[in-house]
Amino acid sequence: MSLTQEEADHLLSIEKTFASASLIEFHMTSPFQQTHDLISMDRREQFLLDVERGGRTRARLKFQTRARRTIVLARIDIAGKAHRNLDHYPHRPGERFTGVHIHLYREGFGDRVAYLPEDLPAFQLPANPHDLDWLTAFLDYCNIIDRPDIQTVM
């Protein structure tokens, strides 16, 4: 399944909330993987929020928002593996990203195109770039409101 760019942009921009009020357990040092159900405020669309810390390196974090169960609308990779943009994509063609970067759905390319956070005017860079601050900035960017508490686990 694919989306038009207009559909993807709309889905990313609409207000979303958590389907349940259960808190988010954010593991600061150990690997974890969580998926949270989200719903649009008008209850017409369902989404998933994935929050993950890698097993091989504790620094690697991934947050992503999916629509229609499988389509990644946005993903932020923090200290993950390097990514190279496609040579034929107009945004930073062939550029290799090694630091924090954001993948966005692009019609015809899926989520294979990366941007630096500062390339996206709507993405508010965290004042203190710690793991939880990146999560908050990502939730803001994906228009996820009315959030449950986030509990840090050491």
| Helical H segments across 3-95, by residue range | 5-13
Contacts of 40 (CB under 8 A, 6+ apart): 14, 15, 16, 46, 47
Q: What is the pLDDT of residues 9-50, one digit of tens each?
A: 999 999 999 999 888 888 888 889 999 999 999 999 999 999
The Cα 17–Cα 110 span in angstroms is 24
CA nearest to 115, candidates 100, 129, 101: 101
The Cα 112–Cα 101 span in angstroms is 12
**Candidate ranges 22-26, 69-73, 95-99; pick with highest mean pLDDT:** 69-73
Give the pLDDT band of residue 59 (cuts 50, 70, 90).
low
- Position 7 pLDDT exceeds 70: yes
% residues pLDDT > 70 (the chain): 97
